[in-house]
Amino acid sequence: SDRTPNTPILPPAMLGILGGGQLGCMFTVAAKTMGYQVTVLDPDPNAPAARFADEHLCAAFDDQAALEKMAANCAAITTEFENVNANSMKWLAQSTFVSPRGECVEIAQDRIREKTFFRDAGLPTAPFLAIEKASDLEVDLSLYLPGILKTARMGYDGKGQVRVKTKEELLTAWQQLKETACVLEKMMPLKTEVSAIVTRSVSGDCAVFPVSENHHFEGILDVSIVPANVTDAVKTSAAAAAKTVASSLGYVGVLAIEFFVLADDSLVVNEMAPRPHNSGHYTLDATTVSQFQQQVRAMCGLPPGDATLLKPVAMVNLLGDVWPGAGTADCKEPDWSSMMSEPSGFLHLYGKKEARVARKMGHYNLLGSNANDVAAKVAALRDELL
């Protein structure tokens, strides 16, 4: 049955979210400040979102009793991550409005389906080969080498990826990955990387946030800069591609698309995330509406908010690496005092109890009148931290 709301879901309705990490936490804060109540499902008793939620169901994502409670209590349900059990989402959708749909999440959680979807939608991807069985390797591999072998499922922050130059390295890497389903992707010469985050409403209206320029370090997002230092044509085509993907999926909610920008300024679609994205954290301080407020609006059947940039901004991720005890032995406590003293600097810490290397602990948004200036200041801050 169609559970799409005909009239907006208004406060103080109960909203549900699958996952209570930092994304679920920032969603929860946004929803609470708008007057909604929030139920969070997350098996971690210390889930960051639990500090703000009205109810924390501390159970597995496929726990039937917890799902029944969510279905009974929530007017609408969303997710903070793509590796949630899509069957749970489909089950919930029988009685509650679930956005994005489980079918969209299923595509995003499998790189083979995702890249095939992009290709079928007419969007350029890196040359890729789906590898599900040994005989899939009996093709002209020179089209994909040197390349990156990526597990089709459960990869994030560069995990489940091996760089390979030769057929021999490829075979060894696939064995290391236990011959699980993978994609082999040709290594692209990147000029830079950008992302576009689109919000699509129940009635099909789209708002795209300003395109962000993203710098990665060891496979993890490090710094995002907005406005991106790319041509207007690149920005326009990234935004258009994001809308195309959202519309052809009949998507409702916030959808992030990552792109590679090549030397000739052509765009290659990398991957999508059916949720707010790390590269959109700048929207918490630098746009009229945040990506988490947009997530609330979309799931409640409201039109997307105006996503205008107020000021140039640079965001730097704060990883556990820079926490004493988790990172290098000589690392000192990050200088919260100078970060907090900056009038245009906004510190966000996620309240995670334990710091670990590569774990996302928080981020810092620095606003200014010029993107180059804030980018340089944030780069200096980052070098000081590491």
Binding site for ligand ADP (CB under 6 A): 126, 148, 150, 155-158, 185, 187-188, 190, 193, 216, 219, 258, 270-271
The site partner of 190 among ligand ADP, Mg ion, none (C-beta below 5 to 8 Å per kind) is: ligand ADP
- Closer of 29 and 149 to ligand ADP (Cβ): 149
The site partner of 185 among Mg ion, ligand ADP, none (C-beta below 5 to 8 Å per kind) is: ligand ADP
DSSP string across 226-294: ES-SS-HHHHHHHHHHHHHHHHHHT--EEEEEEEEEETTS-EEEEEEESS--GGGTTHHHHBSS-HHHH
**Which region, judged by CB under 5 A, interacts with Mg ion, from 168-176, 204-212, 228-236, 255-263?**
255-263
Q: End-to-end CA distance of the chain, in Å?
A: 52
Least Å distance, CB 257 to ligand ADP, is 11
As a whole number of angstroms, the longest Cα–Cα distance in the chain is: 59
- The count of C-alpha atoms lying within 13 angstroms of the C-alpha of 371, restricted to the half-sphere facing its C-beta, is 17
H-only helix segments in 126-264:
167-176, 232-249
User: x/- binding map, residues 137-156, to Mg ion, per CB under 5 A?
Assistant: --------------------
Least Å distance, CB 341 to ligand ADP, is 33
Q: What's the burial of 262, exposed, middle or buried (CB within 10 Å: 0-12/13-18/19+)?
A: middle
Least Å distance, CB 158 to ligand ADP, is 5
- Closer of 270 and 365 to ligand ADP (Cβ): 270
- Closer of 23 and 67 to ligand ADP (Cβ): 23
Q: Provide the 10 A C-beta neighbour count for residue 307.
A: 22
- Closer of 110 and 258 to Mg ion (Cβ): 258
β-strands 76-79, 97-98 pairing: parallel
Least Å distance, CB 3 to ligand ADP, is 30
- Closer of 30 and 269 to ligand ADP (Cβ): 269
Q: Residue 210 CA to chain centroid, in angstroms? A: 15
Least Å distance, CB 214 to ligand ADP, is 7
Least Å distance, CB 321 to ligand ADP, is 17
Please answer whether residues 292 and 305 qualify as being in contact, where contact means their C-beta atoms are separated by less than 8 angstroms. no
Residue closest to ligand ADP when measured from CB atoms: 188
- Closer of 29 and 126 to ligand ADP (Cβ): 126
As a whole number of angstroms, the distance between CA 199 and CA 195 comes to 13
H-only helix segments in 321-369:
336-341
Which residues lie near Mg ion (CB under 5 A)? 258
